[in-house]
Structure 1
Amino acid sequence: MNFYLSFLAYNCWRIIITAVIAYLLGSVNTAVIVTKIVTGGKKDIREMGSGNAGFTNVLRSVGKVPAIFTIVCDALKCVVAVIIGWLIFSTIPADSQILSNEFGNCGKYIAGIFAILGHSYPVYFHFKGGKGVVTAAALIASEDWRVFIAVIAAFLIVFACTKIISLSSITAAVLYGPFTFLATFLFDYPNGYSLGYVILSTVAALIIGIFVIVKHKDNIKRLMRGEEKKITAKKKTNA
């Protein structure tokens, strides 16, 4: 772990560049932009429905096509940020391929965290954005496909049982840290990855998970009161 603390100290410029680029990319809030385009600039998604600038509110307040565009673009901006973070940190000289992979993955986590921060507190939109669920999911998919499969499975199981996206997202956020620890400790550590990498990855996952949970504080209150809305298919009525 001391090695990683020294590593981060000696690579401050890489951290700063990665963080700034990722934050600016994350600040491109698709929900706000799409809603303004669809409504001809007359409406702001943050003043509609739940007030959240994210996929679910766009789906409920604007429609399916804008919602699909929102989820795709929110995921892509994080993927681009993560790739940039990986490229920046992959230039660090390493004694082995495994160490090089560890460095690159550190860059991914830093980029992902700041892309999520940008999405939730966008500099272009008065620092009022979304909850970062889709952006976080894109980071997980880009960082570790094993963890992504486990997290998305948990999300889908809860959603299939409840039809509540917020509860599914919160469950996935709670499990992200433990799933990351299990994947890195059980599979990466025995294959040569350092314990410091396992700890760093787990801490990063916990930070992201806690952040997403905190952003859902209003949803948690509604869930406790039994007032959280479900996603249900609209029934067609005969003319």
Structure 2
Amino acid sequence: MDFYLSFLADNWWRFLITVLAAYLLGSINTAVMVTGIVTKGKKDIRQMGSGNAGFTNVLRSVGKVPAIVTIVCDALKCVVAVLLGGFIFTFATPDSLNSVLTNEVINCGKYIAGIFCIIGHSYPVYFHFKGGKGVVTAAALMLTEDWRVFLCIIATFLIIFLITKIISAASITCAVLYAPYTFIMTFFFDYCSAHYSFAYVLLSTFAALIIGIFVVVKHKDNIKRLLRGEEKKITSKKSDK
């Protein structure tokens, strides 16, 4: 862990560049932009349906094609941000650093970029800091960072959704399980095989925990409706996701 603290102190400016670039990319809220284009500027997705600037509300309130554009672009912006974060941190690793630590440092750069891309999506500077809940961008981070965790998350999402027909229930469940899945994969498959250090296991799990908590908090209204049995299912015309 001392290595990471020392590394951050020596490369604070790379950290800031990664944070700023990822946040600005995340702030490009596709739901708001696509809805504005489709309605010729007459409507704001944040004033339609559930009021959430995300994929499902676009699907319910605007249509399938705009929703597809939204989910693809929201995922791509996070992929770009994560790859950019890894690229920036690649140049922070000296040639003398062993391959294990080099990969860990690059992955940390990816996590940092992913987290702030999600924050940008939810609180976009271009749209008065009112955006979406970060589910699609978080999924894109999972896919780019660790495909094994992504597969676990997708499987969990599908199971919960097929049982409940409620997207928010599936999203919240996945957010809660993101950190445990990350720990299991990095500890048993990476640390135990000496591919990564235990410090990285803790850091990656902590990053996943932050993201999971963030997504759950953004769904606080959905949680209240779920507890009251009032959350809308996918078959309804309106969605709170």
Quote the Cα distance in structure 2 between the aligned partners of 1:216 and 1:227.
14
Quote the Cα distance in structure 2 between the aligned partners of 1:96 and 1:2.
16
Aligned-partner SS, 2:51: coil
Task: Kindly indicate whether residue 143 of structure 2 is the aligned counterpart of residue 136 of structure 1.
Answer: no
Task: Kindly indicate whether residue 132 of structure 2 is the aligned counterpart of residue 114 of structure 1.
Answer: no
Dislocated runs of 4+, deviation >6 Å: none
Among residues 154, 159, 162, which one is paired with 2:161 in the alignment? Answer: 159
What amino acid sits opposite 1:28 in the alignment?
I
> Structure 2 length normalisation: TM-score?
0.95
Give the corresponding residue for 1:202: 205
Quote the Cα distance in structure 2 between the aligned partners of 1:191 and 1:15.
29
Quote the Cα distance in structure 2 between the aligned partners of 1:58 and 1:224.
25
Q: Tell me the C-alpha RMSD between the 2 structures.
A: 1.1
**CA 1:14–1:207: 2 relative to 1, 3 Å:** same
Give the corresponding residue for 2:89: 89
What amino acid sits opposite 1:121 in the alignment?
Y
What amino acid sits opposite 2:39 in the alignment?
T
Give the corresponding residue for 1:47: 47
Give the structure, 1 or 2, with the largest relative contact order (CA under 8 Å, sep 6 or more): 2
Give the corresponding residue for 2:125: 123
- Among all aligned residue pairs of Structure 1 and Structure 2, give the percentage whose two residues are the same amino acid: 75
> Structure 1 length normalisation: TM-score?
0.96
Among residues 225, 228, 240, which one is paired with 1:225 in the alignment? Answer: 228
Question: After the TM superposition, which residues 3-22 of structure 1 pair with which residues of structure 2 at under 5 Å, given as runs?
Answer: 3-22=3-22
Task: Kindly indicate whether residue 27 of structure 2 is the aligned counterpart of residue 27 of structure 1.
Answer: yes
Aligned-partner SS, 1:52: coil
| Cα shift at 1:98 | 1.8
| Cα shift at 1:7 | 1.7
Among residues 147, 150, 156, which one is paired with 1:148 in the alignment? Answer: 150
Quote the Cα distance in structure 2 between the aligned partners of 1:86 and 1:117.
18
| Cα shift at 1:191 | 2.5
What amino acid sits opposite 2:45 in the alignment?
I
| Cα shift at 1:90 | 1.0
- Figure out how many residues of one structure are paired with residues of the other and give that number: 234
Quote the Cα distance in structure 1 between the aligned partners of 2:163 and 2:186.
29
Residue ranges of structure 2 left out of the alignment (5+ in a row) = none
Q: Could you give the per-residue CA deviations for residues 74-123 of structure 1, whole angstroms, max 9, x where no partner exists? A: 00000000010000111121522221110110000000000000000000
